[in-house]
Structure 1
Protein backbone atom coordinates (compact mmCIF):
# COMPACT_ATOMS: atom_id res chain seq x y z
CA UNK A 1 0.00 0.00 0.00
CA UNK A 2 1.26 3.45 -0.89
CA UNK A 3 0.75 5.95 1.89
CA UNK A 4 0.36 9.15 -0.11
CA UNK A 5 -0.34 11.68 2.65
CA UNK A 6 2.26 11.74 5.40
CA UNK A 7 2.40 13.85 8.55
CA UNK A 8 5.79 14.32 10.24
CA UNK A 9 6.35 16.07 13.57
CA UNK A 10 9.69 17.67 14.37
CA UNK A 11 10.11 18.25 10.64
CA UNK A 12 12.08 21.48 10.65
CA UNK A 13 15.53 19.87 10.87
CA UNK A 14 17.49 16.66 11.32
CA UNK A 15 15.77 13.34 10.73
CA UNK A 16 12.35 14.95 10.28
CA UNK A 17 13.51 17.24 7.49
CA UNK A 18 15.51 14.39 5.98
CA UNK A 19 12.46 12.13 5.86
CA UNK A 20 10.41 14.95 4.35
CA UNK A 21 12.94 15.30 1.53
CA UNK A 22 13.02 11.56 0.94
CA UNK A 23 9.23 11.20 0.81
CA UNK A 24 8.89 14.29 -1.38
CA UNK A 25 11.25 12.65 -3.86
CA UNK A 26 8.83 9.74 -3.97
CA UNK A 27 6.00 12.08 -4.87
CA UNK A 28 4.20 12.00 -1.52
CA UNK A 29 2.08 14.82 -0.12
CA UNK A 30 3.39 16.07 3.21
CA UNK A 31 2.04 17.68 6.37
CA UNK A 32 5.00 19.07 8.29
CA UNK A 33 4.94 20.55 11.77
CA UNK A 34 7.54 21.84 14.21
CA UNK A 35 8.20 24.76 16.54
CA UNK A 36 10.37 26.74 14.12
CA UNK A 37 8.01 28.11 11.50
CA UNK A 38 10.77 29.91 9.56
CA UNK A 39 12.58 26.64 8.93
CA UNK A 40 9.34 24.93 7.96
CA UNK A 41 8.61 27.65 5.42
CA UNK A 42 12.11 27.31 3.98
CA UNK A 43 11.75 23.52 3.76
CA UNK A 44 8.34 23.82 2.10
CA UNK A 45 9.72 26.20 -0.52
CA UNK A 46 12.64 23.86 -1.18
CA UNK A 47 10.43 20.79 -1.57
CA UNK A 48 7.95 22.50 -3.88
CA UNK A 49 10.76 23.85 -6.05
CA UNK A 50 12.29 20.40 -6.42
CA UNK A 51 9.00 18.50 -6.68
CA UNK A 52 6.29 20.84 -8.03
CA UNK A 53 3.73 18.04 -8.33
CA UNK A 54 3.35 17.44 -4.61
CA UNK A 55 1.36 19.22 -1.90
CA UNK A 56 3.13 20.42 1.24
CA UNK A 57 1.19 21.79 4.21
CA UNK A 58 3.05 23.25 7.20
CA UNK A 59 1.99 24.29 10.69
CA UNK A 60 3.74 25.58 13.78
CA UNK A 61 3.44 23.10 16.64
CA UNK A 62 5.06 22.65 20.01
CA UNK A 63 4.17 19.05 20.86
CA UNK A 64 4.30 19.93 24.55
CA UNK A 65 1.21 22.08 24.01
CA UNK A 66 -1.05 19.06 24.30
CA UNK A 67 -4.27 20.84 23.40
CA UNK A 68 -2.79 22.05 20.13
CA UNK A 69 -1.71 18.62 18.88
CA UNK A 70 -5.18 17.35 17.83
CA UNK A 71 -6.10 20.79 16.47
CA UNK A 72 -3.00 21.06 14.29
CA UNK A 73 -3.22 17.45 13.12
CA UNK A 74 -6.86 18.00 12.12
CA UNK A 75 -6.05 21.24 10.29
CA UNK A 76 -3.24 19.58 8.33
CA UNK A 77 -5.49 16.62 7.49
CA UNK A 78 -8.15 19.00 6.20
CA UNK A 79 -5.59 20.83 4.07
CA UNK A 80 -4.32 17.63 2.46
CA UNK A 81 -7.67 15.86 2.32
CA UNK A 82 -6.69 13.23 4.87
CA UNK A 83 -3.60 11.67 6.44
CA UNK A 84 -2.70 8.00 6.06
CA UNK A 85 0.70 7.92 7.80
CA UNK A 86 1.80 9.80 10.92
CA UNK A 87 5.45 9.82 11.96
CA UNK A 88 5.92 10.73 15.63
CA UNK A 89 9.40 12.15 15.36
CA UNK A 90 9.62 15.31 17.49
CA UNK A 91 12.10 14.94 20.31
CA UNK A 92 14.98 16.46 22.26
CA UNK A 93 18.32 15.18 23.45
CA UNK A 94 18.81 17.26 26.60
CA UNK A 95 19.98 15.59 29.75
CA UNK A 96 22.31 15.49 32.72
CA UNK A 97 23.54 12.75 35.05
CA UNK A 98 20.81 11.98 37.54
CA UNK A 99 21.29 13.66 40.92
CA UNK A 100 23.38 16.58 39.63
CA UNK A 101 20.72 19.21 40.24
CA UNK A 102 19.60 19.55 36.63
CA UNK A 103 16.12 18.13 36.98
CA UNK A 104 14.81 20.66 34.44
CA UNK A 105 16.84 19.09 31.62
CA UNK A 106 15.85 15.50 32.37
CA UNK A 107 12.23 16.49 32.97
CA UNK A 108 12.10 18.31 29.62
CA UNK A 109 13.43 15.21 27.88
CA UNK A 110 10.86 12.89 29.45
CA UNK A 111 8.02 15.34 28.77
CA UNK A 112 8.91 15.93 25.12
CA UNK A 113 10.06 12.48 24.12
CA UNK A 114 7.51 10.38 25.99
CA UNK A 115 4.53 12.35 27.31
CA UNK A 116 4.18 14.44 24.15
CA UNK A 117 4.66 11.29 22.07
CA UNK A 118 1.75 9.71 23.93
CA UNK A 119 -0.43 12.71 23.05
CA UNK A 120 0.52 12.37 19.38
CA UNK A 121 -0.16 8.63 19.48
CA UNK A 122 -3.61 9.10 20.98
CA UNK A 123 -4.43 11.73 18.37
CA UNK A 124 -3.15 9.60 15.50
CA UNK A 125 -5.13 6.55 16.61
CA UNK A 126 -8.35 8.54 16.82
CA UNK A 127 -7.77 9.87 13.31
CA UNK A 128 -6.97 6.44 11.88
CA UNK A 129 -9.94 4.78 13.56
CA UNK A 130 -12.23 7.38 12.04
CA UNK A 131 -10.58 6.92 8.64
CA UNK A 132 -10.66 3.12 8.81
CA UNK A 133 -6.91 2.61 8.93
CA UNK A 134 -3.46 4.17 8.72
CA UNK A 135 0.21 3.73 9.50
CA UNK A 136 1.68 4.98 12.79
CA UNK A 137 5.46 5.33 12.97
CA UNK A 138 7.22 5.94 16.29
CA UNK A 139 10.80 7.18 16.21
CA UNK A 140 12.51 5.69 19.25
CA UNK A 141 16.25 5.00 19.61
CA UNK A 142 18.66 2.12 19.96
CA UNK A 143 19.31 3.46 23.47
CA UNK A 144 15.74 2.53 24.37
CA UNK A 145 16.97 -1.05 24.69
CA UNK A 146 19.18 -0.44 27.72
CA UNK A 147 19.72 1.86 30.66
CA UNK A 148 22.82 4.00 30.17
CA UNK A 149 24.98 5.96 32.61
CA UNK A 150 25.56 9.70 32.46
CA UNK A 151 23.83 12.42 30.47
CA UNK A 152 21.68 10.05 28.37
CA UNK A 153 19.94 8.30 31.29
CA UNK A 154 16.65 10.23 30.94
CA UNK A 155 16.85 10.12 27.15
CA UNK A 156 17.24 6.34 27.14
CA UNK A 157 14.34 6.01 29.59
CA UNK A 158 12.11 8.21 27.43
CA UNK A 159 12.86 6.16 24.33
CA UNK A 160 12.34 2.90 26.21
CA UNK A 161 8.88 4.21 26.98
CA UNK A 162 8.21 5.03 23.33
CA UNK A 163 9.34 1.56 22.28
CA UNK A 164 7.12 -0.05 24.91
CA UNK A 165 4.09 1.93 23.72
CA UNK A 166 4.84 0.88 20.16
CA UNK A 167 5.18 -2.77 21.07
CA UNK A 168 1.87 -2.63 22.96
CA UNK A 169 0.18 -1.14 19.91
CA UNK A 170 1.74 -3.69 17.56
CA UNK A 171 0.15 -6.42 19.66
CA UNK A 172 -3.18 -4.60 19.88
CA UNK A 173 -3.40 -4.00 16.14
CA UNK A 174 -1.74 -7.20 14.96
CA UNK A 175 -4.69 -7.81 12.64
CA UNK A 176 -5.05 -4.17 11.56
CA UNK A 177 -6.53 -1.92 10.37
CA UNK A 178 -3.77 0.25 11.85
CA UNK A 179 -0.15 -0.66 11.11
CA UNK A 180 2.51 0.27 13.68
CA UNK A 181 6.25 0.65 13.12
CA UNK A 182 8.84 1.28 15.83
CA UNK A 183 12.05 2.78 14.46
CA UNK A 184 15.23 2.61 16.53
CA UNK A 185 17.80 4.88 14.89
CA UNK A 186 21.43 4.59 15.83
CA UNK A 187 23.70 7.62 15.56
CA UNK A 188 22.68 9.59 12.46
CA UNK A 189 24.00 13.09 11.76
CA UNK A 190 21.54 15.71 13.00
CA UNK A 191 21.39 18.63 15.42
CA UNK A 192 20.56 16.22 18.22
CA UNK A 193 23.63 14.02 17.66
CA UNK A 194 26.07 16.87 16.95
CA UNK A 195 27.52 16.68 20.47
CA UNK A 196 27.50 12.91 20.75
CA UNK A 197 30.67 11.18 21.83
CA UNK A 198 29.99 8.16 19.61
CA UNK A 199 31.13 9.72 16.34
CA UNK A 200 32.84 6.48 15.31
CA UNK A 201 29.39 4.92 14.94
CA UNK A 202 27.84 7.92 13.18
CA UNK A 203 26.43 7.74 9.66
CA UNK A 204 25.59 10.73 7.51
CA UNK A 205 22.05 12.07 7.49
CA UNK A 206 21.19 10.88 4.00
CA UNK A 207 22.34 7.30 4.64
CA UNK A 208 20.49 7.11 7.93
CA UNK A 209 17.31 8.68 6.60
CA UNK A 210 17.19 6.37 3.57
CA UNK A 211 17.45 3.39 5.93
CA UNK A 212 14.61 4.78 8.03
CA UNK A 213 12.41 5.46 5.02
CA UNK A 214 13.05 1.95 3.70
CA UNK A 215 11.77 0.41 6.94
CA UNK A 216 8.79 2.78 7.00
CA UNK A 217 7.83 1.96 3.42
CA UNK A 218 7.96 -1.77 4.14
CA UNK A 219 5.82 -1.06 7.21
CA UNK A 220 8.07 -3.32 9.27
CA UNK A 221 7.09 -3.81 12.90
CA UNK A 222 10.34 -2.84 14.61
CA UNK A 223 13.84 -2.21 13.36
CA UNK A 224 17.18 -0.71 14.34
CA UNK A 225 18.47 1.54 11.57
CA UNK A 226 20.75 1.48 9.73
CA UNK A 227 20.76 -2.31 10.01
CA UNK A 228 24.57 -2.34 10.07
CA UNK A 229 26.05 -1.90 12.58
CA UNK A 230 23.03 -1.29 14.80
CA UNK A 231 20.98 -4.48 14.54
CA UNK A 232 23.89 -6.63 15.81
CA UNK A 233 24.94 -3.96 18.32
CA UNK A 234 21.45 -3.82 19.83
CA UNK A 235 21.66 -7.53 20.58
CA UNK A 236 25.04 -6.93 22.23
CA UNK A 237 23.70 -3.97 24.21
CA UNK A 238 20.92 -6.11 25.67
CA UNK A 239 23.42 -8.44 27.38
CA UNK A 240 26.11 -5.95 28.36
CA UNK A 241 26.24 -4.80 31.99
CA UNK A 242 24.99 -1.20 32.19
CA UNK A 243 28.38 0.10 33.30
CA UNK A 244 29.84 -1.01 29.95
CA UNK A 245 27.34 1.05 27.96
CA UNK A 246 29.39 4.26 28.15
CA UNK A 247 30.92 3.86 24.62
CA UNK A 248 27.39 3.92 23.17
CA UNK A 249 26.51 7.27 24.75
Structure 2
Protein backbone atom coordinates (compact mmCIF):
# COMPACT_ATOMS: atom_id res chain seq x y z
CA UNK A 1 0.00 0.00 0.00
CA UNK A 2 1.25 3.49 -0.87
CA UNK A 3 1.01 4.96 2.63
CA UNK A 4 2.65 8.39 2.22
CA UNK A 5 1.25 10.47 -0.64
CA UNK A 6 2.19 13.99 -1.77
CA UNK A 7 -0.33 15.96 -3.85
CA UNK A 8 0.48 19.30 -5.46
CA UNK A 9 -2.25 21.83 -6.21
CA UNK A 10 -4.16 20.40 -3.24
CA UNK A 11 -5.94 23.59 -2.13
CA UNK A 12 -8.86 23.22 -4.53
CA UNK A 13 -10.55 21.20 -7.24
CA UNK A 14 -9.30 17.74 -8.13
CA UNK A 15 -6.33 17.92 -5.77
CA UNK A 16 -8.49 18.81 -2.78
CA UNK A 17 -10.94 16.00 -3.51
CA UNK A 18 -8.14 13.49 -4.08
CA UNK A 19 -6.83 14.42 -0.63
CA UNK A 20 -10.24 13.68 0.88
CA UNK A 21 -10.58 10.34 -0.86
CA UNK A 22 -7.05 9.15 -0.04
CA UNK A 23 -7.53 10.28 3.57
CA UNK A 24 -10.63 8.07 3.71
CA UNK A 25 -8.36 5.18 2.71
CA UNK A 26 -6.08 5.85 5.68
CA UNK A 27 -3.15 7.42 3.83
CA UNK A 28 -0.78 10.02 5.20
CA UNK A 29 -0.81 13.16 3.08
CA UNK A 30 1.68 15.84 2.13
CA UNK A 31 -0.41 18.65 0.65
CA UNK A 32 1.03 21.71 -1.04
CA UNK A 33 -0.24 24.75 -2.91
CA UNK A 34 0.10 28.51 -2.91
CA UNK A 35 -3.06 29.14 -0.87
CA UNK A 36 -2.03 27.93 2.56
CA UNK A 37 -5.22 29.18 4.20
CA UNK A 38 -7.15 26.64 2.12
CA UNK A 39 -4.63 23.95 3.04
CA UNK A 40 -4.98 24.76 6.75
CA UNK A 41 -8.75 24.34 6.54
CA UNK A 42 -8.40 21.06 4.63
CA UNK A 43 -5.84 19.73 7.10
CA UNK A 44 -8.15 20.52 10.05
CA UNK A 45 -11.08 18.84 8.29
CA UNK A 46 -9.17 15.67 7.45
CA UNK A 47 -7.45 15.26 10.82
CA UNK A 48 -10.77 15.69 12.61
CA UNK A 49 -12.48 13.12 10.41
CA UNK A 50 -9.54 10.69 10.22
CA UNK A 51 -7.51 11.07 13.45
CA UNK A 52 -5.22 8.13 12.65
CA UNK A 53 -3.61 9.76 9.61
CA UNK A 54 -0.92 12.41 9.38
CA UNK A 55 -1.51 15.48 7.23
CA UNK A 56 1.37 17.84 6.52
CA UNK A 57 0.97 21.05 4.53
CA UNK A 58 3.52 23.31 2.85
CA UNK A 59 3.36 26.43 0.71
CA UNK A 60 4.45 25.79 -2.86
CA UNK A 61 4.47 27.75 -6.08
CA UNK A 62 5.34 25.06 -8.62
CA UNK A 63 6.87 27.68 -10.92
CA UNK A 64 9.53 28.27 -8.25
CA UNK A 65 11.57 25.25 -9.24
CA UNK A 66 14.07 25.46 -6.38
CA UNK A 67 11.15 25.48 -3.96
CA UNK A 68 9.69 22.39 -5.65
CA UNK A 69 12.81 20.39 -4.82
CA UNK A 70 12.97 21.79 -1.28
CA UNK A 71 9.34 20.98 -0.51
CA UNK A 72 9.36 17.44 -1.93
CA UNK A 73 12.57 16.63 -0.05
CA UNK A 74 11.05 18.09 3.13
CA UNK A 75 7.99 15.83 2.83
CA UNK A 76 10.25 12.81 2.33
CA UNK A 77 12.28 13.72 5.42
CA UNK A 78 9.12 14.24 7.45
CA UNK A 79 7.43 10.97 6.45
CA UNK A 80 10.60 8.90 6.26
CA UNK A 81 9.58 7.57 2.86
CA UNK A 82 7.69 8.99 -0.09
CA UNK A 83 5.43 6.34 -1.61
CA UNK A 84 3.44 8.25 -4.19
CA UNK A 85 3.75 11.67 -5.80
CA UNK A 86 0.73 13.13 -7.63
CA UNK A 87 1.73 15.93 -9.99
CA UNK A 88 -1.61 17.71 -10.08
CA UNK A 89 -0.96 21.47 -10.03
CA UNK A 90 -1.94 23.13 -13.29
CA UNK A 91 -3.78 26.00 -14.91
CA UNK A 92 -5.88 26.76 -17.99
CA UNK A 93 -5.48 30.43 -18.90
CA UNK A 94 -5.02 31.35 -22.53
CA UNK A 95 -6.41 32.39 -25.88
CA UNK A 96 -5.96 31.57 -29.53
CA UNK A 97 -2.37 31.85 -30.71
CA UNK A 98 -1.67 35.24 -32.29
CA UNK A 99 -4.46 37.05 -30.48
CA UNK A 100 -2.19 39.02 -28.17
CA UNK A 101 -2.30 36.77 -25.09
CA UNK A 102 1.20 35.30 -25.21
CA UNK A 103 1.79 35.97 -21.51
CA UNK A 104 -1.24 33.87 -20.50
CA UNK A 105 -0.41 31.09 -22.97
CA UNK A 106 3.22 31.06 -21.78
CA UNK A 107 2.16 30.87 -18.14
CA UNK A 108 -0.11 27.90 -18.87
CA UNK A 109 2.62 26.09 -20.80
CA UNK A 110 5.23 26.71 -18.09
CA UNK A 111 2.93 25.64 -15.26
CA UNK A 112 1.54 22.54 -16.94
CA UNK A 113 4.79 21.27 -18.42
CA UNK A 114 8.01 22.87 -17.13
CA UNK A 115 6.77 23.02 -13.54
CA UNK A 116 5.43 19.47 -13.88
CA UNK A 117 8.86 18.35 -15.09
CA UNK A 118 10.43 19.89 -11.99
CA UNK A 119 7.97 18.00 -9.78
CA UNK A 120 8.67 14.73 -11.64
CA UNK A 121 12.41 15.31 -11.36
CA UNK A 122 12.22 15.95 -7.61
CA UNK A 123 10.04 12.90 -6.98
CA UNK A 124 12.04 10.58 -9.23
CA UNK A 125 15.31 11.49 -7.50
CA UNK A 126 13.74 10.19 -4.29
CA UNK A 127 12.16 7.13 -5.91
CA UNK A 128 15.43 6.15 -7.56
CA UNK A 129 17.24 6.49 -4.23
CA UNK A 130 14.55 4.42 -2.48
CA UNK A 131 14.27 2.04 -5.47
CA UNK A 132 10.52 2.26 -4.97
CA UNK A 133 7.63 4.64 -5.47
CA UNK A 134 4.73 5.67 -7.69
CA UNK A 135 4.78 8.80 -9.85
CA UNK A 136 1.39 10.04 -11.07
CA UNK A 137 0.83 12.90 -13.49
CA UNK A 138 -2.57 14.46 -14.11
CA UNK A 139 -2.90 15.33 -17.78
CA UNK A 140 -6.18 15.78 -19.69
CA UNK A 141 -8.28 14.28 -22.45
CA UNK A 142 -7.45 17.44 -24.40
CA UNK A 143 -3.91 16.05 -24.78
CA UNK A 144 -5.14 13.64 -27.44
CA UNK A 145 -5.41 16.26 -30.21
CA UNK A 146 -4.57 19.86 -30.92
CA UNK A 147 -7.38 22.09 -29.68
CA UNK A 148 -8.53 25.46 -31.07
CA UNK A 149 -8.83 28.84 -29.41
CA UNK A 150 -8.30 29.18 -25.68
CA UNK A 151 -7.53 25.45 -25.43
CA UNK A 152 -4.49 25.47 -27.73
CA UNK A 153 -1.78 26.18 -25.16
CA UNK A 154 -3.47 24.07 -22.49
CA UNK A 155 -3.91 21.02 -24.74
CA UNK A 156 -0.38 21.17 -26.08
CA UNK A 157 1.10 21.47 -22.58
CA UNK A 158 -0.91 18.45 -21.43
CA UNK A 159 0.21 16.50 -24.51
CA UNK A 160 3.81 17.29 -23.58
CA UNK A 161 3.10 16.00 -20.07
CA UNK A 162 1.79 12.71 -21.50
CA UNK A 163 5.00 12.29 -23.50
CA UNK A 164 7.15 13.19 -20.50
CA UNK A 165 5.36 10.65 -18.32
CA UNK A 166 5.70 7.91 -20.92
CA UNK A 167 9.40 8.64 -21.28
CA UNK A 168 9.90 8.35 -17.52
CA UNK A 169 7.92 5.08 -17.50
CA UNK A 170 10.11 3.67 -20.27
CA UNK A 171 13.22 4.69 -18.35
CA UNK A 172 12.29 2.79 -15.16
CA UNK A 173 10.34 -0.15 -16.57
CA UNK A 174 12.80 -2.63 -15.06
CA UNK A 175 12.77 -0.97 -11.66
CA UNK A 176 10.18 -1.29 -8.86
CA UNK A 177 8.93 2.23 -9.65
CA UNK A 178 5.44 2.70 -11.12
CA UNK A 179 4.59 5.62 -13.39
CA UNK A 180 1.01 6.58 -14.30
CA UNK A 181 -0.60 9.26 -16.43
CA UNK A 182 -4.27 10.01 -15.69
CA UNK A 183 -6.24 11.86 -18.37
CA UNK A 184 -9.50 13.22 -16.94
CA UNK A 185 -12.38 14.34 -19.10
CA UNK A 186 -14.64 17.13 -17.91
CA UNK A 187 -14.74 16.92 -14.13
CA UNK A 188 -16.24 19.89 -12.30
CA UNK A 189 -13.56 21.91 -10.49
CA UNK A 190 -12.49 25.52 -9.89
CA UNK A 191 -10.64 25.41 -13.20
CA UNK A 192 -13.91 25.06 -15.12
CA UNK A 193 -16.56 26.27 -12.67
CA UNK A 194 -17.50 29.18 -14.94
CA UNK A 195 -17.96 26.94 -17.97
CA UNK A 196 -21.63 26.32 -18.61
CA UNK A 197 -23.49 23.73 -20.70
CA UNK A 198 -20.40 21.57 -21.24
CA UNK A 199 -21.25 18.11 -22.58
CA UNK A 200 -20.14 15.03 -20.61
CA UNK A 201 -19.34 17.03 -17.44
CA UNK A 202 -19.37 14.96 -14.23
CA UNK A 203 -19.41 16.19 -10.65
CA UNK A 204 -16.20 16.42 -8.65
CA UNK A 205 -16.69 13.50 -6.24
CA UNK A 206 -17.57 10.73 -8.73
CA UNK A 207 -15.05 12.10 -11.23
CA UNK A 208 -12.23 12.02 -8.71
CA UNK A 209 -13.38 8.60 -7.47
CA UNK A 210 -12.73 7.31 -11.00
CA UNK A 211 -9.29 8.95 -10.95
CA UNK A 212 -8.37 7.47 -7.58
CA UNK A 213 -9.47 4.01 -8.71
CA UNK A 214 -7.05 4.10 -11.64
CA UNK A 215 -4.26 5.60 -9.54
CA UNK A 216 -4.63 2.78 -7.03
CA UNK A 217 -4.40 0.24 -9.86
CA UNK A 218 -1.13 1.92 -10.89
CA UNK A 219 -2.09 1.74 -14.55
CA UNK A 220 0.29 3.13 -17.16
CA UNK A 221 -2.36 5.52 -18.45
CA UNK A 222 -6.12 5.90 -18.23
CA UNK A 223 -8.98 8.02 -19.54
CA UNK A 224 -11.34 8.89 -16.69
CA UNK A 225 -14.18 8.44 -16.16
CA UNK A 226 -14.03 5.49 -18.56
CA UNK A 227 -17.48 6.35 -19.93
CA UNK A 228 -17.73 8.31 -22.12
CA UNK A 229 -14.06 9.27 -22.37
CA UNK A 230 -12.46 6.00 -23.48
CA UNK A 231 -14.82 5.66 -26.49
CA UNK A 232 -14.56 9.40 -27.15
CA UNK A 233 -10.78 9.16 -27.01
CA UNK A 234 -10.87 6.55 -29.75
CA UNK A 235 -13.06 8.82 -31.86
CA UNK A 236 -11.03 11.96 -31.13
CA UNK A 237 -7.82 10.39 -32.43
CA UNK A 238 -9.46 9.62 -35.78
CA UNK A 239 -11.91 12.46 -36.32
CA UNK A 240 -11.04 15.00 -39.04
CA UNK A 241 -9.72 18.16 -37.45
CA UNK A 242 -12.49 20.32 -38.91
CA UNK A 243 -15.07 18.22 -37.06
CA UNK A 244 -13.24 17.93 -33.76
CA UNK A 245 -14.33 21.32 -32.45
CA UNK A 246 -18.00 20.27 -32.71
CA UNK A 247 -17.49 17.13 -30.64
CA UNK A 248 -16.32 18.80 -27.43
Same fold (TM over 0.5): yes
Q: CA deviation at 1:205?
A: 0.3
**Gap change, CA 1:197 and 1:145, over 3 Å in 2:** farther
**Which residue number in structure 1 is paired with residue 147 of structure 2?**
148
User: How far apart are the structure 2 equivalents of 1:35 and 1:194?
Assistant: 19
Task: State whether residues 149 and 242 of structure 1, in contact with CA within 8 Å, keep that contact through their aligned partners in structure 2.
Answer: no
User: How far apart are the structure 2 equivalents of 1:197 and 1:161?
Assistant: 27
**Gap change, CA 1:118 and 1:191, over 3 Å in 2:** same
**Which residue number in structure 2 is paired with residue 103 of structure 1?**
102
User: How far apart are the structure 2 equivalents of 1:226 and 1:147?
Assistant: 21
**Which residue number in structure 2 is paired with residue 80 of structure 1?**
79
User: How far apart are the structure 1 equivalents of 2:207 and 2:168?
Assistant: 25
**Which residue number in structure 2 is paired with residue 89 of structure 1?**
88
User: How far apart are the structure 2 equivalents of 1:248 and 1:109?
Assistant: 24
SS in 1 for 2:183: strand
Query: Normalising by the residue count of structure 2, what TM-score does the alignment of the two structures yield?
Result: 0.97
**Which residue number in structure 1 is paired with residue 40 of structure 2?**
41
Q: Which runs of 5+ in 1 are unaligned?
A: none
User: How far apart are the structure 2 equivalents of 1:226 and 1:9?
Assistant: 21
Query: Normalising by the residue count of structure 1, what TM-score does the alignment of the two structures yield?
Result: 0.97
Task: State whether residues 198 and 248 of structure 1, in contact with CA within 8 Å, keep that contact through their aligned partners in structure 2.
Answer: no
**Which residue number in structure 1 is paired with residue 225 of structure 2?**
226
User: How far apart are the structure 1 equivalents of 2:92 and 2:134?
Assistant: 26
